[in-house]
Structure 1
Amino acid sequence: MSEPPVPAPATNAVAESPSAPSGGPAAPPEPVAPADLAPVPTRRERFAWYAGSMILASVLVTAGLRLESQDLHAPFYYDLDSLLYLPLAKGVVENGTHWHNDRLGAPGVQELYDFPIIDYLHFGLLWLLSRVTPDLLVAYNVYNLLTYPLTVLTGMFVLRWLKLSLPAAAVGGLLYAFLPYHQERYQYHYFLAAYWVVPLSLMPALALCRGEFPLFPLQPDGTRRRTLFSLSALWAVVLGALTASAGAYYAFFACATYAFAGAYASLMFRTWRGALSAAWVIAPVILVGFAYHYPTFVYQYHYGVNPITDRWPEEAETYGLKLAHLILPANDHNLTILSQLRMLYSTPQRPVDGESAGALGVVGGTGLVVLLVMAVLPHRRRWPEGPLVALVLFLVLLATVGGFGSLFNMLVTAQIRAYNRISVFIGFLCLFAVLWWVDRFLLARTSHRGKQLRYPALAALFLIGFLDQTPYSWFKQKVVTVTGQHAERFRTDKQFFQEIEEKAPGARVFCLPYIAFPESPPVQKMQAYEHVRGYLMTDTLTWSFGAVKRREADSWQREVAFEKPNEFLRRIVVRGFDGVFIDGRGYLPRRVEPGKSEPVSVVNPRERIHAIYGDLVKQSTARLPEVVHKDGKQFFLDLRPYRDAYQRVVGAEEFDRQARTERELVVPLWLKGFTVDEPFYGEFLLWGSYNSTLVLVNPTDRTRSIDLTFEIGVDVVGEYGFAFSGRPGLVDGEFSVEKPFEEDSQNRTRHMAPPRTLHAELPPGRTTVRIRCTPPPWFFPGDHRKMCYFIKNFRVVEK
């Protein structure tokens, strides 16, 4: 990346700003930029500073993480959301795409069109690294480490464009690369930690605030003419595409910043060109983002909208920004007293403290405090203080708890919820402000003693900031110990799953307990993505986990997983599964009364499955081949002997009939307007809103006569009208359900109407049934989902 040219030093203390857009007033005079007070560096000097800063960042992260003692063939973090990113990376490296994966989601195929992830820039770089090294984990870890020098590079480039001197830009790039946010996201939020695009994304906003409009470049005669093909206009398009490729959160924050910068420029320079230029900058972000989501739009047009990632507006408060998070010391601070101060704030009693990452450190925090103080002081603010005060104040008001972001989530869309992540935008602006002041102060000292103090002062600033921003564990044995624990768990799992693959190559494996994908709550001591480890460690096995919830494969899995053990085994083997993986951490020991059988996913089914196999072959000591994890809590049972024995008992013809029945089951999909309770405890309920969509999937090529049987219940007193409608003559039913006041007065919170049956002639393919609920006039839903009834014991019965 080449550096923008820096003009020769100015001789006056104050230089005129670029000419204002025609039709607007002249911009206020600007102070001389620090770069204008220093000699123009040669190309060799610029290269040395850029390369040296990136090398220093690499050395520091190598020493800080003690990479000489780490295993690059194992992930540095092997838990929680890292188990979401790792299979995505493997899918991209092996298949060239993350949208679908043939080895997940059996008996179907994992398709992520309902769960779009648009971090194409990071996917592309991971793919390129995988061409260099055959080991996925090495590429995965190397890219994570490269985000430090990459952030230094982009940070320095933008700070030089903002007219800082080379040494100050190097300090700024280094401090920005080592923000506490980087270490706290780490590999837990893998793509968020790769925020090296953010400085580039901020360039159009800062340019707008200076009156530099990409569609109206300044001409030599001082006028501005509209052109779509100027360098600045095309550069804005490139930055927009790059921003859209680096993730939805950073793209959204960038667009919000551009919109505000356009308004700021329009008011400051009194011209409509500011707003139009902001629209030009926003357009490529939206268009490229739309292109990345295009597969989702096409898929959901054909198969129905499946709102699995619907957010609550209230989550903008839970994951919102707090000024305290920005100003207080980082978590796990190097100084014990400051670490204790942060812990004193982060108590369980503290409200809405969902995401606490985002500390700016002493340097960035100082810049934030000064800029916010300047916002309320009655004085004229020139460049860069004026735009910086406005931008930082806007970003804080947008993201803070109860701020504009909360209103946006309530009135427009709640899909952006973690506003705390805007801290990397605020952090860059605050670091720039401090370094502008320090750099200009040091360069303005014309005495020999003043010049001698410049480099030591900047070095001290960097050292103080770096030690303040990096965690206590860095450079110490603790970081090796913690990372080593993750690596050891990874190696133990790898040995277990590879042993499964050796004993049953090419097998299809059903995972227990059932865990919906994605974004599900923990099941006992299992986190949401634990089941994906089998896919990560093997090359030929196919796994049931990963079927997107509410789609066909997931609906079948959920139903089967809660069958009685005998029926569970029968259904999965006739559907083609060769084995079952059981993670005992997902179960609590429960005593079952004699003669009573509980569903498979309630009690750890390992011994029960062995007993069923023994009964089938009439040998009480017969057991299925199994592989046991080193922890003694995870098991793989090879079901091929059971399938062979079951096929001998029922006969090949009956076995084929049962397999065909399983494949041809009519599957109900509860899509838009429904909330599906996870069936781990208590009743399995389907909550519906005023207007909901049920899709019935008939996988055969014949029309089928079916009955839909179900019960409907309500919570609030009153009469509710229901209307089921589909194609003419398909499903047609209108009825009402009334909860009497007497029931409510007896503290009965729920009213269940008698079971109902609706008949339908179901054609091949997918059939949409609209369910409309009209609640009583006094009904108030209580949240944005507008849930007003629930469905229980829904069954599809073929006549």
Structure 2
Amino acid sequence: MKGALARVRGAWTRNDLLLYVVVAVAASVLAYGALALWRADLGVPLTYWGDALAVGSHFKTVIENGWYEFNPLLGAPAGQTYNDFPTADNLNFIAAAILGRFFTDWPVAMNLYFLIGFPLAAVSMTWFLRVCGSSKAVVLALAPLFAIAPYHFSRGEGHLFLASYFVLPLSLVLVVRAIRGEPLWGWRDDRRAAMRLFGRGASTLTIVALTATSSSYYSVFFLILLAFAGIAALITRRAWRRFWGAAVAGGLTVVAMLVNMLPDMVFAWINGANPAGLERGHAEAEIYALKLSQLILPWPGHRIPVLRELRALYDANYPLVSESPALGAVAAAGFVAMLLFVAYAATRAGGWRARGRGDRAVFSLFGSLAALTLVAFLFSSVGGLSTIISFVTTSLRGWNRMSIYIAALSLAATAILLDWLIRAIVRRAKLRGAGRALVAGALAAIVLVVGFVDQTPWDAGDDYAATAARFTADRSWFATVQEAAGAGATIMQLPYQSFPEDVGPTGVLGSEVLIPYLQTSDIAWTGGGIKGRPRAEWTQVLESQYPPAQIARIAAATGMTGILVDRLSMFPGPRATLEAGLAKAAGAPLESPDGRYSYYSLDRLEKELSASAGAGELAAVRARAIDPVTIDDRSGFARGFDDAGGLESRQREADPRLRLINDSGTAARGTLELEFRFDTDTGGVVPGTLAVRLPDGSIRDVPIRDGSGTLSTPITLTPGTAEVTIIAPAPGTDGAAAVVLGHRGVRDAVVSAFAESGN
């Protein structure tokens, strides 16, 4: 027994290998308890709603197709092309591909990736804390706490790629090395040529590659902190060599990010940009920023009711709730200490005077961590430097996500304070050996217990049963649909739901359109195409221009096997109208037990068309229907929904323009139909006519009667884009009322003639 203990003690003191193992095990155990995994079925996604559906779709796509950029079973018949939603998160997709080799069931692969993130985050945080000089006892407490940060649970599987922040501490190692003036590049001092490769340069290159492929957000946050660290080292140490070393690391990060997004850039160059794919507003940089009070208050999932209620009170009564960022008490202690340190240091002209070289090094590191934290806060807080960045680009909006960087820096600061406290207790009590270890272990245990109670969710596992029931019910229902439709079927989904990052008129998220795909195999669905391209929005065009019975006829002509209606996505009136028309054309539907879905088979219509229409006519209808002319009004209007759930757009600026997009490659002939009304709810002058400039330069005057009017004019559009201008002053200018555009669009001549021939 003594021999075994001696070997363990030797392994513990000899290197950090055992420390990493213990930390990984501890983080796994804490995650197991925090998530109440004994109540979960890993064959069911832990989260089966919202953005978790999109993440699940990514996993299923990678498992079935090898990569995520193209999925032939979504956005049918063209397929879902994710190049229209550029990202540099490929490390996560690589992980999905690896897990998919062993676990072909997408919920299992997704759940495992989420769970693996806990020990990985703890292990990487261990290295960062050890680089910062933290003792092993303190690391044993704080590294697992970083893994179970409130951020991890609030992100969950809905934001799985953000929750997989295990690369983040590695990037902070480079930042700390840079601000200390340490080299980031160089060979290992070893006589063996092969071993010389494994030096600082190799580790820097590896960390840069991992960071640049893990997350676009984390890569940008890393670049900001690295830039500050390099400049700080140059100013304080005149270390030009270190500055250029940091600059090279930053440049390589940018290059690696661009390489990750190269397929997306090439796709945009060939097919033209899709401004609607990643559609975000400038103001979102502040809506999704963070505030000081949010960081230090308890998080919304706190186990102690009074603290949970305190946060709920704040979130309910104060503006800009953002994504409810919070550090947790242990990290918040370090965060507040760093702010006080900055304030104190700023008042001392002579700087901080510490006794001894060791103390000076510790306080220098503490000051560096405080400076980095301040920079992170200045960028991510409401009205901070991120607002200035939003003038240039709106692609990055969730600056509150820098809170996990702040949490890591704050825990490193807490580690310094805890080590200082341990040394002070040991020095005052004159303890040695076992006494010192006892103090360190007891303090670490207390911090770990406090952190676990403070940071982990109070209701973990409460939703597992309901989630499993819904998931199982959906799987059973769509198995029925799959059997009815047959292998290789293509099914139209109505109503059209814009994807990604949109919400329908009834509050149903656009990601819910992916549920049918997630629950079936070898069936193509029209939903899930990236918004902005005509081939993704073709069912929306049909909905806006044709009555339901004609939609069914057109759907059959385009090769659809059936139509699936998501009743939850529609208001009762429009839903009843749609289903009555579909039933008249296609017959009675199959209905899901919960009443949410109805499926209309188009077999009867397909047989009728085969007997009455020629192959050439059907081919022409299919070509025009699935690649229609669409209208992009996003530059001059704000989109919303009318009282019936129909899409409409409200004027934002003077003379708003509409882009008519013809991506079909051939000229499109039809009728441009636009409905106008004026928003007089807040007052305003309504004109007698509304002037509209057509693509050929001619102007049509639309009579306005009772606040509304309609334009209907023949039009021929060559491939590419054309513009229609609504000649109207900006809302409020000289009391002008805002123009509200109802969506009709370009009614194609070929499709219209075919639809009406069935009457």
TM range (shorter): 0.7 to 0.9
Corresponding residue number in structure 2 for 1:320: 289
Corresponding residue number in structure 1 for 2:357: none
Corresponding residue number in structure 1 for 2:246: 278
> Where do 1:118-197 residues align within 5 Å?
118-197=88-167
Give, as a single letter, the amino acid of the residue that structure 2 aligns with 1:519: E
The change in CA–CA distance for 1:524 and 1:470 in structure 2 (over 3 A counts) is same
- Tell me which of 462, 473, 479 is aligned to 2:459: 473
Residue pair 1:106, 1:547 contacting (<8 A) in 2 also: yes
Matched, 1:514 2:478: no
Residue pair 2:660, 2:724 contacting (<8 A) in 1 also: no
- Tell me which of 496, 511, 527 is aligned to 1:529: 511
Corresponding residue number in structure 2 for 1:18: none
Corresponding residue number in structure 2 for 1:310: 279
Residue pair 2:692, 2:702 contacting (<8 A) in 1 also: no
C-alpha distance in 1 between matches for 2:90 and 2:318: 37
Residue pair 1:263, 1:274 contacting (<8 A) in 2 also: no
SS in 1 for 2:572: coil
C-alpha distance in 1 between matches for 2:141 and 2:397: 32
Question: Cα deviation per residue 1:707-764 (whole Å; 9 max; x = unaligned)?
Answer: 756678999999999877xxxxxx542659899xxx9xx9x9x897x848586573xx
Structure 1 window deviating more from structure 2 (91-100 vs 209-218): it is 209-218
Matched, 1:628 2:561: no
> Where do 1:483-498 residues align within 5 Å?
483-498=464-479
C-alpha distance in 2 between matches for 1:84 and 1:117: 14
- Tell me which of 435, 439, 451 is aligned to 1:453: 439
Matched, 1:543 2:503: no
- Tell me which of 422, 426, 437 is aligned to 2:417: 437
Residue pair 2:649, 2:740 contacting (<8 A) in 1 also: no
Corresponding residue number in structure 1 for 2:394: 414
Unpaired stretches in structure 2, ≥5 consecutive residues = 1-8, 191-195, 353-362, 751-759
Matched, 1:56 2:1: no
C-alpha distance in 2 between matches for 1:340 and 1:258: 38
C-alpha distance in 1 between matches for 2:40 and 2:717: 62
- Tell me which of 746, 750, 754 is aligned to 1:795: 746
The change in CA–CA distance for 1:464 and 1:712 in structure 2 (over 3 A counts) is closer
Residue pair 2:117, 2:163 contacting (<8 A) in 1 also: yes
CA shift for structure 1 position 246: 1.0
- Tell me which of 66, 78, 81 is aligned to 1:111: 81
Corresponding residue number in structure 1 for 2:261: 293
Residue pair 1:587, 1:602 contacting (<8 A) in 2 also: yes
Matched, 1:677 2:631: no
> Where do 1:388-407 residues align within 5 Å?
388-407=369-388
SS in 1 for 2:407: helix
Residue pair 2:76, 2:524 contacting (<8 A) in 1 also: yes
Corresponding residue number in structure 2 for 1:499: 480
- Tell me which of 463, 472, 477 is aligned to 1:482: 463
Matched, 1:334 2:303: yes
Corresponding residue number in structure 1 for 2:753: none
Matched, 1:351 2:322: no
CA shift for structure 1 position 510: 1.1
Question: Cα deviation per residue 1:124-176 (whole Å; 9 max; x = unaligned)?
Answer: 11211121223221111111111110111100011112222222222221110
Q: How many residues align?
A: 700
The change in CA–CA distance for 1:645 and 1:751 in structure 2 (over 3 A counts) is closer
C-alpha distance in 2 between matches for 1:340 and 1:423: 22
Bigger helix share: 2
Matched, 1:668 2:629: yes
Residue pair 2:330, 2:411 contacting (<8 A) in 1 also: yes
SS in 1 for 2:414: helix
Residue pair 2:19, 2:140 contacting (<8 A) in 1 also: yes
C-alpha distance in 2 between matches for 1:399 and 1:532: 32
- Tell me which of 581, 584, 593 is aligned to 2:564: 581
Corresponding residue number in structure 2 for 1:609: 582
- Tell me which of 394, 405, 409 is aligned to 1:425: 405
Matched, 1:641 2:608: no
Residue pair 1:673, 1:691 contacting (<8 A) in 2 also: yes
The change in CA–CA distance for 1:253 and 1:502 in structure 2 (over 3 A counts) is same
Residue pair 1:686, 1:791 contacting (<8 A) in 2 also: no
Give, as a single letter, the amino acid of the residue that structure 1 aligns with 2:720: T
CA shift for structure 1 position 637: 2.1
Residue pair 1:668, 1:694 contacting (<8 A) in 2 also: no
The change in CA–CA distance for 1:261 and 1:779 in structure 2 (over 3 A counts) is farther
Residue pair 1:694, 1:770 contacting (<8 A) in 2 also: yes
The change in CA–CA distance for 1:792 and 1:429 in structure 2 (over 3 A counts) is closer
C-alpha distance in 1 between matches for 2:148 and 2:40: 20
CA shift for structure 1 position 238: 2.3
C-alpha distance in 1 between matches for 2:413 and 2:93: 33
SS in 2 for 1:581: strand
Residue pair 1:263, 1:275 contacting (<8 A) in 2 also: yes
Residue pair 1:77, 1:188 contacting (<8 A) in 2 also: yes
CA shift for structure 1 position 259: 1.6
> Where do 1:778-789 residues align within 5 Å?
none
Corresponding residue number in structure 2 for 1:657: 617
C-alpha distance in 2 between matches for 1:711 and 1:585: 27
Give, as a single letter, the amino acid of the residue that structure 1 aligns with 2:258: F
Identity of aligned residues (%): 27
Give, as a single letter, the amino acid of the residue that structure 1 aligns with 2:541: E
The change in CA–CA distance for 1:217 and 1:443 in structure 2 (over 3 A counts) is farther
SS in 2 for 1:635: strand
CA shift for structure 1 position 371: 0.6
Matched, 1:385 2:363: no
C-alpha distance in 2 between matches for 1:494 and 1:761: 44
The change in CA–CA distance for 1:797 and 1:334 in structure 2 (over 3 A counts) is closer
Question: Cα deviation per residue 1:749-785 (whole Å; 9 max; x = unaligned)?
Answer: x897x848586573xxx3233568898799989xxxx
CA shift for structure 1 position 340: 2.0
The change in CA–CA distance for 1:229 and 1:692 in structure 2 (over 3 A counts) is farther
CA shift for structure 1 position 503: 2.2
Residue pair 2:674, 2:741 contacting (<8 A) in 1 also: no
Residue pair 1:320, 1:418 contacting (<8 A) in 2 also: yes
Residue pair 1:214, 1:230 contacting (<8 A) in 2 also: no
The change in CA–CA distance for 1:780 and 1:401 in structure 2 (over 3 A counts) is farther
Give, as a single letter, the amino acid of the residue that structure 2 aligns with 1:677: R
Residue pair 2:547, 2:581 contacting (<8 A) in 1 also: no
Report the aligned-residue RMSD: 3.6
SS in 2 for 1:677: strand
Give, as a single letter, the amino acid of the residue that structure 1 aligns with 2:398: A
- Tell me which of 697, 705, 713 is aligned to 1:733: 697
The change in CA–CA distance for 1:327 and 1:683 in structure 2 (over 3 A counts) is closer
Give, as a single letter, the amino acid of the residue that structure 2 aligns with 1:139: A
Corresponding residue number in structure 2 for 1:34: none
Residue pair 2:548, 2:579 contacting (<8 A) in 1 also: no
C-alpha distance in 2 between matches for 1:788 and 1:608: 32
Residue pair 1:100, 1:110 contacting (<8 A) in 2 also: yes
C-alpha distance in 2 between matches for 1:138 and 1:542: 23
Corresponding residue number in structure 2 for 1:462: 448
Corresponding residue number in structure 2 for 1:597: none
C-alpha distance in 2 between matches for 1:706 and 1:499: 40
Corresponding residue number in structure 2 for 1:251: 219
SS in 2 for 1:603: helix
State TM-score, norm by structure 1.
0.80
The change in CA–CA distance for 1:49 and 1:700 in structure 2 (over 3 A counts) is closer
